[in-house]
Amino acid sequence: MIPEGMIALGTPAADELGFIADRFEGWLWKRDDKIIVSFIMSRQPGRGHFSELLDGIWSKGYTIQVPTPLGQMVPILQAKGFEPHAEWSESFGDWCEVWERAPDDQRAG
């Protein structure tokens, strides 16, 4: 069971999801049944590590959310079947765009 809150690299929770330091920088968050990819960078772009991370998270039964994705992240999320919606952020006191996909959503690979 992954605890609520930040998932830092080098922790058992990160390792369980495949979020490992030789592939990524940054952190993830867990809230309820969701893993939030709020700030990560691939150390080796283009090698499929991000797709493996998503698959690892879904294999554990979690929905994945990506708030306000930037640049090349949007086409990746579209190809993986994520859908955008607006969600209120208590942290920012405003609405933000969140892309989301549940583990059992088979619209894309």
Nearest to 36 by CA among 16, 11, 53, 15: 53
73-108 pLDDT, tens digit each: 899 999 999 999 999 888 778 899 999 999 987 555
Answer yes or no: is 107 within a domain: no
CATH code of the domain covering residue 48 = 3.40.630
Answer yes or no: is 106 within a domain: no
Answer yes or no: is 109 within a domain: no
Q: How many domains does the chain have?
A: 1
| pTM of the full structure | 0.90
What pLDDT score was predicted for residue 100?
Answer: 97
28-55 pLDDT, tens digit each: 999 999 999 988 999 998 899 999 999 9
Answer yes or no: is 83 within a domain: yes
Q: 3-state SS of the chain?
A: CCCCEEEECCCHHHHHHCCCCCCEEEEEEEECCEEEEEEEEECCCCCCHHHHHHHHHHHCCCEEEEECCCCCHHHHHHHCCCEEEEEEECCCCEEEEEEEECCCCCCCC
28 with 7: CB under 8 angstroms?
yes
What pLDDT score was predicted for residue 103?
Answer: 92
State the residue range of the domain holding 44: 5-101
